[in-house]
Structure 1
Amino acid sequence: MAGIFLFNPPGPDNKGFTREGRCTQEAGTWATLWPPVTLTTAAAFLEEDGHTLNVTDYPAIGLSLNSLKDAAAKSRPDFAIWNTGTPTLISDIAIAETIKSVSPETITCVMGTHVSVLPAQALSSGSVDLVIRGEPELTIRKICSCAEKEFTGIPGISFRDKNGDIVHNPDSEFMDPEIIPYPAWHHIDISPYSLPLKNRPFLIVAPLRGCPFPCSFCTAGIYYGKKLRKRPVNNVIEEILNNRIKYNVNDFFIWADTFTADREYVTEFCSELLSRNIKTSWTCNSRVDTVDGEMLELMKKAGMWMISFGLESGSDEILRRSKKGIRASQSKTAVETAHRLGIRTSGHFMYGLPGETESSMMQTLNFALDLPLDIAQFYAASPFPGTSLYNEATSEGWLTENDSFSQSHAVMDLPGLSAKRVDAFRQYSYRNFYLRITAIFRLLKIAGFSATTNILFNIKRFTGWVKGQ
């Protein structure tokens, strides 16, 4: 059996970063650190196989690169496997050299959407041995079971052969959702993960994989494919109950690229929670064209307290060009319906998509101000590798930089609209949205400011909301 070091690495300057499938974001007022569901799901497979594991989420526990280096030097693992993200790619890849400096025999393996699309870029460092492309857990299991460390027959990986040539093995097949194990949360300390508005611990439950929608800016299909794969509802319910008993957690993020993509599945999930009288609190993300009043009412009865909508823009033309497949009127209906039912709503907007102008950005901001949203996030459109937006941005010469893509920092100079202007308008939007009496009172009601005595913390938190941090 092998010794395996699974980790989420420290971010640049020890900033906290979530790197989870298509979601790579810096922790802040809105973006709480997520429990590392991919690492712990892989750990569950490896635990079954009898391997010795060290699973560490460095951003969550506030440890630095020096701590990671010390851990590698002490354990000298057979395999070191870690998450990477586009915003932190340079520092993520450099970790391989750090590990090799203290444990040269360790096989270094990276995963993530960026390296799945551009594996040669990761292998060019010379210290990365393997790139895991696409859905990683079963591939990790196969890699770690290779007694002779002979990887030529393992699908879903890229590596250098004995001659130094880069080899891309065929893609791996997607997992049968019925074999996905419960994440092995007991390998990490779950106390650092709390909901930003409720200040209660939460865990991720992932019932679905895959996304059939063609949004130009999204990397969802790279990791989990286009086909929707569904775990049995009863298995998901049992995972929730297991988490309540084993980890004393009753708040969950029901994580899928679009949880509401299959109405029948959501109905069965909610009905099962209600019929078994399972009192739990959960949130999810959704498209606006996959819900209606009947469905939202059922979801609320089953414990959903907040829903996050990908609204992107208030301009139908921008929505059309980005292949979002919705209209602004549908966004308005979905948000207003959820609000009427007493469900908290979070709206996610994106500035700087192709066709964006000063006028369309103002149209989006006014649209956001008119909606009864509790929370709004305003991102910069980021052309992540593997998306059609990336292909368009590179072919049109819009990129202002090539190695620091992040949704908090615009990197495209569009015709008539600079990246700097997009960044400035994002900050303008946050100020205009949150410095309103209605927005302040909504946040007070959700966050329970009146029930806490930590005044300084709440002043800092509100300042972060206004700044969009």
Structure 2
Amino acid sequence: MGLAYLAAVLEKYGYKVEILDAPALEIDYAKLPAELERRKPDIIGVTATTAVAPSAFKTAQIAKQVVPDALVVMGGGHITFIPEETMKAEPSIDVGVIGEGEYTLLELVETWEKGGDLSRVKGLILRGKDGSIKRTPPRPLIENLDELPFPARHLLPMERYKVFGKQETLGLIFTSRGCPYNCICCSSSLLFGKKFRARSPKNVVDEVEEFVETYKSNHVEFVDDLFIFDKKRVEAICREIKERGLDILWVCSARVDSADLELFKTLRRAGCVMIYLGVESGVQRVLNLMRKGTKVEQAVRAVRMAKEAGLQVVASFVLGVPGETWEEALETIRFAKRLDPDFAQFSLATPFPGTALYQYAKEKGLLLTEDWTKYTVLKPVMRTEELSEEQLKKLIKKAYFDFYLRPKIIWRYIRRGHTKELLVNVLGRYLWQYFKSKLGFR
């Protein structure tokens, strides 16, 4: 949705914008030149998280070859976290947008159109004609998020974005930005700052209503990192939904230390059907190593309350944090089974650029690779002093198999009609590798 926000701001100021969601439209590298040749844009923007950065680099190369006079701009998390490294890695990128991009990109476009000096635009990293790389001063964060227009969904192939296993279009909505916490695996605060900034309840539900009316779908996901950080605001959002008679089914995320039974019941009455809880570990020492700031007992309480309120629970867990032992990782897997959420998501601790974990891994020589395509959270890209690459591979497979391939879980999924999720999430990812390697677990 980041591109749709950028496009909406540019459209508001009279610029013609197109978004090409190449994966959704099945446009591969062979087809891309024709798409660019047909449009001949003045400015070409690409965005990338770390895992897809190599793909963005390839896209930038093709863009430069097909439209050599176009300004190629890159934004997103990867270039925000390691701007100089990114510019050096890919010479096809002329300009990088660092951090929040809406007003930076607008000013960049306005300046470029007038033939002005881009070095006067805040929030950029630039490549000079002599090949030198220069950063401009940072841009202040947007204080009033309500002033941003709603994302330009009309520029996206919305018919391609379906609810998993269904035909209805899924609406992704951001209601806040910023995170004040210090988890070593997370880089959110580098992108959006540590100050929590939120849209007003009316503004949020106005967008929900527009989505429902435009796309005739009642499926919404609030994709904030901290949706229920401000409980009074969330209660007000729920009231707005109810008062407008919006019959929607929605999903949100929460920290386990924000669990509140009455609030969870309020969410459920307003149409929330599922909540994503960041549990991360079943061992307090490991939570402390992660600087999570939560307690194991808070996770137990949060899952219990969510279930009591009638919400399905997705619980996330991280394995392989530096300092975690093999036995502690196994305890987290056992803890996940005892918690018994509806779905469990296991990840390997991954040192994404911008995180404290990345700095630690580089300093200690723990990185196994900087091939960004492998930074999927399911492949080991970092060893630890306690766990080898092979042990990490075993752990992630064991976690998924131990949790999902239990008779009670299989029966639960069959009863609820979730067999497709089971096949995709577990068997599709791991069964072939499992039988190939013939791993045995006790």
Q: Which band: TM-score by shorter chain?
A: over 0.9
The alpha carbon displacement at 1:96 in A equals 1.5
Partner of 1:128: 93
Q: Distance in 1 between matches of 2:152 and 2:263?
A: 32
Q: Distance in 2 between matches of 1:181 and 1:317?
A: 44
Q: Distance in 1 between matches of 2:31 and 2:18?
A: 13
Deviation readout 1:112-157 (Å, 9 max, x if unpaired): 2221121122222221100110011221111122221531111111
Q: Distance in 2 between matches of 1:105 and 1:442?
A: 57
The alpha carbon displacement at 1:75 in A equals 1.5
Partner of 1:96: 60
Q: Distance in 2 between matches of 1:467 and 1:305?
A: 30
Residue identity opposite 2:12 in structure 1:
E
Residue identity opposite 2:232 in structure 1:
E
The alpha carbon displacement at 1:110 in A equals 0.7
Q: Distance in 2 between matches of 1:103 and 1:376?
A: 45
Residue identity opposite 2:221 in structure 1:
F
- 1:336 and 2:304 matched: yes
Q: Aligned runs of 1:152-191 on 2, under 5 Å?
A: 152-175=119-142, 176-191=144-159
Structure 2 segments unaligned to the other structure (5+ residues): 434-442
- Number of residues paired by the alignment? 427
Deviation readout 1:338-362 (Å, 9 max, x if unpaired): 1122210001111111211110111
Q: TM-score, normalised by structure 1?
A: 0.87
Q: Distance in 2 between matches of 1:131 and 1:379?
A: 30
Q: 1:277 aligns with which of 222, 227, 245?
A: 245
Larger RCO, structures 1/2 (Cα 8 Å, 6+ apart): 1
Partner of 2:437: none
The alpha carbon displacement at 1:196 in A equals 2.1
The alpha carbon displacement at 1:446 in A equals 4.1
Q: Aligned runs of 1:10-25 on 2, under 5 Å?
A: none
The alpha carbon displacement at 1:278 in A equals 2.0
Q: Distance in 2 between matches of 1:276 and 1:85?
A: 36
Residue identity opposite 2:48 in structure 1:
T
Q: TM-score, normalised by structure 2?
A: 0.92
Q: 1:407 aligns with which of 349, 353, 377?
A: 377
Secondary structure of the structure 2 residue equivalent to 1:191: helix
User: Percent of pairs identical after alignment?
Assistant: 29
Greater shift, 344-353 or 143-152, is seen at 143-152
Partner of 1:249: 217
Structure 1 segments unaligned to the other structure (5+ residues): 1-36, 450-454
Q: 1:59 aligns with which of 7, 20, 23?
A: 23
- 1:139 and 2:112 matched: no
Query: Taking structure 1 as reference, are residues 76 and 281 closer, same or farther at Cα in structure 2, changes over 3 Å only?
Result: same
Q: Distance in 1 between matches of 2:347 and 2:286?
A: 15
Residue identity opposite 1:168 in structure 2:
R
RMSD, matched Cα? 2.0
Partner of 1:386: 354
Residue identity opposite 2:290 in structure 1:
S
Q: Distance in 2 between matches of 1:466 and 1:99?
A: 36
Contact 1:210-1:227 within 8 A present in 2 as well: yes
Residue identity opposite 1:338 in structure 2:
A
The alpha carbon displacement at 1:195 in A equals 2.4
Q: Aligned runs of 1:56-455 on 2, under 5 Å?
A: 56-124=20-88, 125-146=90-111, 147=113, 148=115, 150-175=117-142, 176-196=144-164, 198=166, 200-404=168-372, 405-447=375-417
Contact 1:117-1:386 within 8 A present in 2 as well: yes
Contact 2:259-2:305 within 8 A present in 1 as well: no
More helix by share: 2
